[in-house]
Amino acid sequence: MDRIPILRMGECLLVTIQVDMHDQLALALQDDLTSAITKQRTRAVLIDISALVMVDSFIGRMLANISAMSKILDAETVVVGMQPAVAITLVELGLQLPGVRTALNVDQGMKLLRRALRAT
């Protein structure tokens, strides 16, 4: 079965979503990422969705879930690279993505994560 790859970069886990995910794939990513956080004892997760051309409520919820789970596992999550049209759609769909930190791009996202790590 297909998997979204999860890469470790320093203290950070990096997830780049390059394909249009079906629901099972999104759920698999959720599982993989939580177990990676516990196994590798990382405290920061960066999810790059710049290649996603559409986010519907299911994927939006999945992103929110990942953020929430990471938080419980004492890891900070930043979603970066959301396209404007995707953002508009998310808002119009009524998804607020509570607890999900976002940044414009990977650089900004990394800065945000570092700051958060220093703060604790």
Partner 1 sequence: MKGTAPLLSVRLENEHDVVVARQRARRIAELLGFEEPDVVRIAAAVSEVARNAVSRSSGGTVEFRYASGVPHRLRVVVSDLARDGAVLRQQLDLGGAEVEGLIGCRRLMDHFVVEELDGGGVRVVFGKNLRVGHRALSPQALLKLTQELALPPSRNLVDELQRQNHDLLQALAETQRLQQDLAQLNRELQDTNRGVVALYAELDERADSLRKASEAKTRFLSNMTHEFRSPLNSILSLTRMLDERMDGELNVEQAKQVSFIRKAASDLSDLVNDLLDLARVEAGKVPVRLSQFSVADLLSTLRGTTRPLVSAQGEVALVFDEAPEGVVLRTDEGKLAQVLRNLISNAIKFTERGEVRVSCEAAADGQIAFHVSDTGVGIAAADHERIFEEFAQVEHPLQQKVKGTGLGLPLARRLTELLGGAIRVESEPGRGSEFTVQIPMDYAGPPDLVVAPEMPLRHAASPGSGSPYLLVVDDDEISRYLLRSSLEAMGFAVAEANGAEACFAALRRSRPAAVLLDVVMPGMSGLAVLETIRGTSALERLPVILHTAALLGDADRQFAAARGAKIVAKQFGERVAWESDLRRALQNAGLPVSIPA
The three-state secondary structure class of 16 is: strand
Query: Of 18 and 35, which CB lies nearer to partner 1 in the complex structure?
Result: 18
Residue 20, by phi and psi: left (phi above 0), alpha (psi -120 to 50) or beta?
beta
98 binds partner 1 (CB under 8 A): no
86 binds partner 1 (CB under 8 A): yes
CA dihedral 7, 23, 79, 11 (to 10 degrees): -20
Amino acid in the structure at residue 69: M
Part of the chain binding partner 1 (CB under 8 A), chosen from 42-50, 69-77, 84-92, 96-104: 84-92
**Mask of contacts with partner 1, 51-80, x by CB under 8 A?**
--xxxxxx----------------------
Q: Pick from 92, 118, 119, 120: which binds partner 1 (CB under 8 A)?
A: 92
96 binds partner 1 (CB under 8 A): no
Beta strands in the chain (DSSP E): 6-9, 12-16, 44-48, 76-80, 101-103
8 A C-beta contact, residue 51 and residue 18: yes
Query: Of 58 and 107, which CB lies nearer to partner 1 in the complex structure?
Result: 58
Interface with partner 1 (CB under 8 A): 2, 18-24, 53-58, 83-86, 88-89, 92-95
